[in-house]
Structure 1
Amino acid sequence: MSRTAGTVPVAAPRAGAATAPRRAAHLARRIAATAGRRALMLAVLLALVFAAVEVLPGDAAGASAERGESPADLAERRRLLGLDRPVWERFADWMAALPTGDLGTSARGQKVTELLADPLPNTLLLALSAFAITVALSLSLGCWAAAHPGRPADRLITHTSTAAFAIPEFVVSAVLLLTLSLWTGWLPAATVTGGDGRPATWTMLIMPVLALVIPQTGWNTRVVRGALADQAGAPHVEAAHLDGLPPHRVLLRHQLPGAVPAVATGIATSTGMLFGGAVVVETLFNYPGIGTVLAGAVAARDTPLIAGVVICAGAVITLVLLAADLIRHATLGARA
């Protein structure tokens, strides 16, 4: 066979390399679209907050009034607070200032950003600590149950996690207060803050964190166990078993990676439950977080402060959900 002189064979581009930029662009579009939808949902939630406070009996002017104020004084206070304007107009002004970082002024005349400067980091510390412990326990318990399907360990973990998730945070908090504080005296019943506005000792975090961890660990353990069970019948998992790989290696190297999208979604969803539970837990333990601020703001009908708490919590939850979407889409794209 003759060979043409001076020609050099050129390697064809790999299909994976050619499609990688397109996959990245597609992933970016998906994430941008998801972020837009979540931002719209957050705006709708804020509108509902303004509307809900509007239909509650009383208003911020009456709640913040001093004893002996005349009707004329109350009318002037309402004018100063802008309560004489339609609620939709106040909401539009609040939303227009939001991109600049201005969360408005509370009924007491203080900037909402200043009022949340200390409580928000405390709540983030509480929620992120509970989140990290929940993820570690859920993955450990879910993997342990999946490694012993149908055995007593699996049944015990499944039933216990179901019972844990069914117990509300305020019940868990009450039980912890009775057992770890009132009966044994091991832990302080209430949180005492130091000069910096933070809990005085780390032991004051234990019961609030446990009150959040126990129900959410129950939920996420079931999510992890179910996701691993769905992957147990996948062809690559069965092939790994036929190859004689140890069960723990099959679980960690083959089942768990395939379960990542479902696990990430479940754990991200629990973030909203953590923040919702934090409102109750912080109130019960006198913890200096945004839950305590929110309870006082609702009592005072302080719409800007309530909206400020909602936007802060909503922003954190949205970021976690977007991270979960990114993990899920990236994992599914890599497997495609």
Structure 2
Amino acid sequence: MTTPRPAGAGASGSLPARILPGAGRVARPVARRLVMLVVLLAGVFAAVELLPGDAAGATSERGVTAADLAARRVALGLDRPVAERFLDWMTGLPAGDLGTTARGRHVTDVLAGPFPNTLLLGALALVLSIAGALALGGWTALRPGGRVDRAVDTASTAAFALPEFVVSVALLLVLSQWTGWLPAVTLTGPDGTPESWSMLILPLLSLAIPQIGWNTRIVRGALADQAALPHVQAAIMDGLPRHRILSHHMLPGALPAIAVSTATSAGMLLGGAVVVETLFNYPGIGAVLAGAIADRDTPLVAGVVAAAGAAISVLLLLADLIRDRILGAHR
């Protein structure tokens, strides 16, 4: 007499047995990135500790007495070892408690306004970067070895090689100082956002241009690999239109590499936003981080890093899932 199978089980075994391998593929990268984030945050605490001065001195009024300064250090917990303060701060992290700044505000309250502004700027720059890279990479992939291909290759390499602050200064000179087309700084409205959409253009371009260069090279390389495959060569010999060859035969196979490149760009954009926001006085986490470092405010610096790191980790995880799903569909 055979034992009946549980409902929903197939020939390969029970349903949990089929689910667990997929769950493991998700759990491993999540755990790895969590460990990396914890190590990064520990490094933040250590780095701020190595800076000259401390939060008590940086945030105290002029002329404060030595006794008052010592009492303030005790109140801020600066008399405790840095490892103990880090572990104490980490206990609140799972519940979303990022601690209290040296000036007595909750870190989450300090980040509540600027962080969405940074996410907006980063999201717009990411969309512009991917759109530009797909357009340029697709255009050159259909005309390999030509003058346009060589020109785009040279320009994309140069764009990616330039740091964001160099691009920012160049755009400031050309589009603001020399022509007066765009405002040089960002003015903040009553709601904490830029007063005008035109104030977003210079920070947006400063972030997007290097990433357009990076992603154009990735897209061009991925499409070149697909162009060498037999089914693409067959489509070319059949005389199919170029745009159809690109969209139906080359682009689907290049999507895994493009997904990973997009997630990597998101992390680079959030990192570059700190510099760009400071240059353009944009109301994002760049100004918050600069002020936190000046105040030697370890919880606030770590809070900025934790928020940015969490956003980057989510994007990288999504990119891994999309890549695995696309590769699985092609098998």
Which TM-score tier does this pair reach, normalised by the shorter chain? over 0.9
1:105 maps onto 2:115 in alignment: no
Kept after mapping to 2: 8 A contact 1:162/1:219:
yes
- Quick check: 228-237 or 51-60, which moved more? 228-237
Provide the rounded CA distance (Å) in 1 between the counterparts of 2:329 and 2:18. Answer: 9
1:219 maps onto 2:208 in alignment: no
Q: Say how many residue pairs are matched.
A: 322
1:324 maps onto 2:319 in alignment: yes
CA RMSD of aligned residues (A): 2.0
Alignment-derived partner of residue 10 in structure 1: none
Q: Which runs of 4+ in 1 moved over 3 A?
A: 15-28
Deviations 1:54-88 (A, max 9, x none): 11111101111111111111110000000001111
Letter in 2 for 1:47: A
Name the % identity.
64
Alignment-derived partner of residue 283 in structure 1: 278
Provide the rounded CA distance (Å) in 1 between the counterparts of 2:171 and 2:217. Answer: 23
Letter in 2 for 1:110: R
Provide the rounded CA distance (Å) in 1 between the counterparts of 2:18 and 2:126. Answer: 31
Alignment-derived partner of residue 186 in structure 1: 181
Give the TM-score normalised by the residue count of structure 1: 0.92
Structure 1 residues 167 and 16: alpha-carbon distance in aligned structure 2, compared to 1, 3 A threshold: farther
- Structure 1 residues 1-336: aligned runs within 5 Å: 25-336=20-331
SS of 1:310's equivalent in the other structure is: helix
Provide the rounded CA distance (Å) in 1 between the counterparts of 2:207 and 2:326. Answer: 29
Kept after mapping to 2: 8 A contact 1:23/1:333:
no
Deviations 1:78-116 (A, max 9, x none): 000000011111111111001111100001011101111
| C-alpha displacement of 1:206 | 0.4
| Structure 1, unaligned runs of 5 or more | 1-14
| C-alpha displacement of 1:333 | 0.9
Task: Tell which structure's C-alpha radius of gyration is larger.
Answer: 1
| Structure 2, unaligned runs of 5 or more | 1-9
Kept after mapping to 2: 8 A contact 1:27/1:330:
no
Give the TM-score normalised by the residue count of structure 2: 0.93
Provide the rounded CA distance (Å) in 1 between the counterparts of 2:155 and 2:20. Answer: 43
Letter in 2 for 1:151: G
Provide the rounded CA distance (Å) in 1 between the counterparts of 2:14 and 2:215. Answer: 35
Provide the rounded CA distance (Å) in 1 between the counterparts of 2:11 and 2:229. Answer: 24
Provide the rounded CA distance (Å) in 1 between the counterparts of 2:17 and 2:250. Answer: 28
